[in-house]
């Protein structure tokens, strides 16, 4: 059984798509009723969540460090919190991550809890008997920037929808579904190549290459149906130009794209994704577009790097 938490740090992003101050207050009250101490930090901008977590887990006196860090926000906020947690020591007392979904897609939360209400899953973490457990999950490290990747990274069409989704009305996963459908219409593949542990997996016209991590992207598209978050390997799926981009929303709902002639699937410790025409690789990870990469993205697995509260194994 995973040890019970005693001290919590709640990191909440007021800019998250479904953030509500009342939710944070209710969350803090529940934690204070069960734990020795609870602190709340509301982020002020990009990178602030990482800095706040790093200070709490690495710089505070040992007896004041949290053993539970709660991220309230979307997938980008969760990644920032994870980045701060990775800087902990390697001992067994490391703080574990719990996610309260307050973003638009909440793919990270789905990876560990499916779509169960967070109030129910938090009760499993804090309550007697623990209907939850801590799992040490793998991360990827993007060599070109040094950043860690929790959920996954996607190129091409999978990255381009992030620019489109910001222009659409509404909220939630439905907006991502609409953005994908609109971006897919008339999409032109880029010349790409993907290698896994030095062995070519795919080369040619590429619609997208997704590396991870989490099975779902945008909270609904099952791009990596075989991925396990703690197997010490990264999964990658490449969809090439033989597939009609307009069919991707339908095919990726249940993972049927993996069986297509135009899809290649692999696993490994190092995955290199390239664009071969000299243009910049359009890339996102954890729901955020990246502008500091060139035409190559190199992902190395960091095994068992992050303790996360998740549903207990049946």
pLDDT tens digits, one per residue of 186-236: 899 999 999 999 999 999 999 999 999 899 999 999 999 999 999 999 999
- Please give the torsion angle defined by the CA atoms of residues 303, 305, 306 and 311, in that order, rounded to the nearest 10 degrees: 30
Indicate the range of 111-125, 173-187, 209-223, 271-285 predicted with least confidence. Answer: 173-187
In a domain, 308, yes or no: no
In a domain, 310, yes or no: no
What's 241's domain CATH number?
2.60.200.40
What is the mean predicted confidence (pLDDT) over 252-277? 96
Residues 189 and 274 in one domain: yes
pLDDT confidence of 252, banded at 50, 70, 90? very high
Three state DSSP letters for 138-184: EEEEECCCCCEECCEEEECHHHHHHHHHCCCCCCCHHHHHHHHHHHH
Q: Is the pTM of this model over 0.85?
A: yes
Residues 74 and 157 in one domain: no
The count of structural domains within the chain is 2
Residue-number span of the structural domain to which 92 is assigned: 7-130
pLDDT given for residue 130 in this prediction: 64
Residues 102 and 164 in one domain: no
In a domain, 236, yes or no: yes
Residues whose CB is less than 8 angstroms from the CB of residue 167 and which lie 6 or more positions away in sequence, other chains included: none
H/E element, 105: none
Residues 195 and 263 in one domain: yes
What is the mean predicted confidence (pLDDT) over 68-86? 96
pLDDT given for residue 92 in this prediction: 45
Residues 64 and 179 in one domain: no
Alpha carbons 213 and 196: distance in angstroms, whole number: 15
Alpha carbons 51 and 202: distance in angstroms, whole number: 38
Residues 211 and 158 in one domain: yes
Residues 171 and 292 in one domain: yes
Residues 152 and 59 in one domain: no
Residues 154 and 186 in one domain: yes
In a domain, 136, yes or no: no
Residues 112 and 171 in one domain: no
**Total length of the chain:** 314
pLDDT given for residue 24 in this prediction: 97
In a domain, 28, yes or no: yes
Residues 252 and 218 in one domain: yes
């Amino acid at each position: 059984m995973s040890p019970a938490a005693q001290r919590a740090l709640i990191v909440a992003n007021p800019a998250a798509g479904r953030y509500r101050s009342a939710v944070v207050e209710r969350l803090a009250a529940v934690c204070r009723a069960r734990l020795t101490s609870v602190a709340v930090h509301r982020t002020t901008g990009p990178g602030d969540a990482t800095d706040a977590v790093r200070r709490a887990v690495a710089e505070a006196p040992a007896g004041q460090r949290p053993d539970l860090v709660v991220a309230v926000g979307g997938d980008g906020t969760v990644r920032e919190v994870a980045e701060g947690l990775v800087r902990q020591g390697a001992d067994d007392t490391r703080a574990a991550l719990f996610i309260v979904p307050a973003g638009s897609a909440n793919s990270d939360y789905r990876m560990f809890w499916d779509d169960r209400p967070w109030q129910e899953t938090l009760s499993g973490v804090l309550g007697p008997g623990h209907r939850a457990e801590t799992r040490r999950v793998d991360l990827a490290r993007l060599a070109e920037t040094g950043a860690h990747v929790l959920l996954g990274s996607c190129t091409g069409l999978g990255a381009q929808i992030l620019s489109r989704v910001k222009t659409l009305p509404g909220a939630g996963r439905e907006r991502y579904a609409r953005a994908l459908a609109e971006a897919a219409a008339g999409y032109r593949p880029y010349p790409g190549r993907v290698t896994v542990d030095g062995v070519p997996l795919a080369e040619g016209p590429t619609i997208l290459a997704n590396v991870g991590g989490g099975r779902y992207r945008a909270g609904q598209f099952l791009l990596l149906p075989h991925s396990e978050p703690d197997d010490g390997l990264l999964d990658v799926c490449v969809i090439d130009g033989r597939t009609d981009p307009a069919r991707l929303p339908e095919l990726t709902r249940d993972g049927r794209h993996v069986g297509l002639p135009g899809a290649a699937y692999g696993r490994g410790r190092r995955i290199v994704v390239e664009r071969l025409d000299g243009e910049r690789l359009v890339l996102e990870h954890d729901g955020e577009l990246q502008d500091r990469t060139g035409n190559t993205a190199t992902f190395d697995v960091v095994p068992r790097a992050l303790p996360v509260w998740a549903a207990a194994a049946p």
